[in-house]
Amino acid sequence: MPRFRPVALVLLAALPAFLSAQETSAKEEERMSQLARNDGMWYTPKTRVSVGLRILDSGGKVSFGNLGTVPFLNEIIPASEGAVVRSYNDGQIGLDGLRTDEVDGNGNQTSTPGGRYQVYSTVTVNVTDSNGNVIGTQDVQRLVGDYLSYTPGMTREWDVMGQSQFLTKPGYVAFNNYAAVSDGGSLAKEQGMSGGLELQMNRELGSSGRYFKWGVLAGISLNDINSKTAGSVASTLRTYTDYYTTNGSVLPLSQLSNPSNDTTLDSDGDGVANTFENTVALPIAPDPSLTTDVLTPGGANVTGRWQVKGAYFMFKFGPTLRTQITDTIGISASVGLAGAYAGTRYTAYESFQVAAMPNTDIETVDSETGDSTLSSTATKFLTGYYADLNLDWDVNDRFGLFGGVTAQQLDSYEQKLGDRTADIDLGSAVGIRGGVTVRF
């Protein structure tokens, strides 16, 4: 409402011009009427169609609410689900199976579960006499690999991101999933100037004298909506941790990826290096009695980008008053009802980091597209009112130019993106307008 006061004052200031225009002499009125009766071909245009631009001081204000929600990236799978792939923010437990070298031709396991198996290769070597002369060749079996056997219920396929996962609970490897739960964080952004196009039609319905006329106005305009902001909000950190026992085996702190092999060993003492697997197998499922799910209020500093972008068509209808200052220059004013059809897209990107995973962003992910930016769309019909005050210049009988001021007031609406909200308030705005007019 405060933005409408300047427009109202301008309308009141223009009132004397409307009233003074009524002081046309009776003789002049009689003369003009006589001319109209004598010349049946004389026609005064009754309709004005204008096309132009308008620039508003504000495109609206958007209040972003309930920010700072980053769900678990991976599905939480309980131990009761058994042998499945389990993914975490800091590692993965994969499914294991029999390798090619530990099965026979029928697919039966030849290695001993819980033990090790060896792989040999046939190589051709020289045979020499007592003097060292080569007298022939022979094929021998040489050890090329010493590996950990497949054991049901265990897996050799796992990896972690940091050494701290070996130290959280001695004798176990910790795997974590992290999420941020919104604490109701909010940010607001008011859009600056908003440009748009408009089309209006003004139909004259009557007049009082030569210089004072009234009629109706109908129009449509298009303006953009674009409010975006970036920043950070505090959220609750949720940490879900599973523990997998090492069954008493000691894990080298550098062994983050498994299976793990060392190819510089000579296991059989033949002087030739071979591959030796030093993987420590883990259970395929975590120990359910040790699983924790901890909430830490304010433990996550969530940074993000949020934007509401779109446009709205505004329709307006109301009465108009017009007075001529000279034969070519006039002032017109209109106040009436307005309606707007708005369509917007709400996008958000949010991420946070934890101390155990420095320089790694845990971010939002769209479950359908896999993209890190989330989005939703909304449409809404809004109601309100408008006021226009224009100065018109008739270049000739058909064409003219106009310029003036405009004001509007529209409702607000709410758009959601998951648990996030965006209160989109188009509110009140004032601006300038200008363009060309066609009369017919």
Q: How far is CA 261 from the centre of its chain?
A: 44
Write the DSSP assignment of 182-222 as a string of letters.
E--EEEEEE---EEEEEEEEEEEEEESSSSEEEEEEEEEEE
pLDDT in tens, 182-200: 999 999 999 989 999 999 9
Is the confidence at residue 71, as pLDDT, over 50? yes
State the pLDDT at residue 209. 76
| Cβ pair 205, 76 in contact under 8 A | no
Torsion of CA 94, 98, 99, 102, to 10 degrees: 150
Please, is 30 exposed, middle or buried when counting C-beta atoms within 10 Å of its C-beta (0-12, 13-18, 19+)?
Answer: exposed
pLDDT in tens, 225-257: 999 999 999 999 999 999 999 999 988 888 999
The angle formed by the CA atoms of residues 433, 437 and 440, to the nearest 5 degrees, is 150
State the pLDDT at residue 125. 78
pLDDT in tens, 77-118: 999 999 999 999 999 999 999 999 999 999 999 999 999 999
Q: Quick one: pLDDT band at residue 270, thresholds 50, 70, 90? A: low
Radius of gyration from C-alpha coordinates of the chain: 40
Q: Report the SS3 class of residue 87.
A: strand
Q: Quick one: pLDDT band at residue 43, thresholds 50, 70, 90? A: low
Q: Quick one: pLDDT band at residue 34, thresholds 50, 70, 90? A: low
CB proximity list for 315: less than 8 A, separation 6 or greater: 218, 219, 220, 338, 339, 340, 341
d(CA 249, CA 111): 20
pLDDT in tens, 136-174: 888 888 888 999 999 999 999 999 999 999 999 999 999
H helix intervals, 279-431: none
Beta partners for residue 151, in sequence order: none
For the chain, the average pLDDT equals 89
> Number of H helices and number of E strands within the chain?
3, 24
**Least confidently predicted of 32-36, 239-243, 258-262, 282-286:** 32-36
Q: Higher confidence at residue 375 or residue 23?
A: 375
Q: Quick one: pLDDT band at residue 31, thresholds 50, 70, 90? A: low
Torsion of CA 158, 164, 170, 172, to 10 degrees: -20
Termini Cα distance of the chain: 36
State the pLDDT at residue 23. 44
User: Whats the size of the chain, residue-wise?
Assistant: 440
Is the confidence at residue 2, as pLDDT, over 90? no
Q: Which residues of 364-389 are buried (b: 16+ CB within 10 A; e: fewer)?
A: bbeeeeeeeebeeebebebebbbbbb
Over residues 416-421, mean pLDDT: 96
Kindly report whether the global pTM for this prediction surpasses the value 0.85: no
State the pLDDT at residue 132. 86
State the pLDDT at residue 107. 92
d(CA 328, CA 320): 18
Q: Higher confidence at residue 148 or residue 4?
A: 148
Sign of CA dihedral 212, 216, 219, 225: positive
Q: Quick one: pLDDT band at residue 39, thresholds 50, 70, 90? A: very low
Q: Quick one: pLDDT band at residue 42, thresholds 50, 70, 90? A: low
Write the DSSP assignment of 309-331 as a string of letters.
EEEEEEEEEEEEEEEESSSSEEE
State the pLDDT at residue 403. 97
Q: Quick one: pLDDT band at residue 376, thresholds 50, 70, 90? A: very high
d(CA 355, CA 8): 59
pLDDT in tens, 274-302: 889 999 999 999 999 999 999 999 999 99
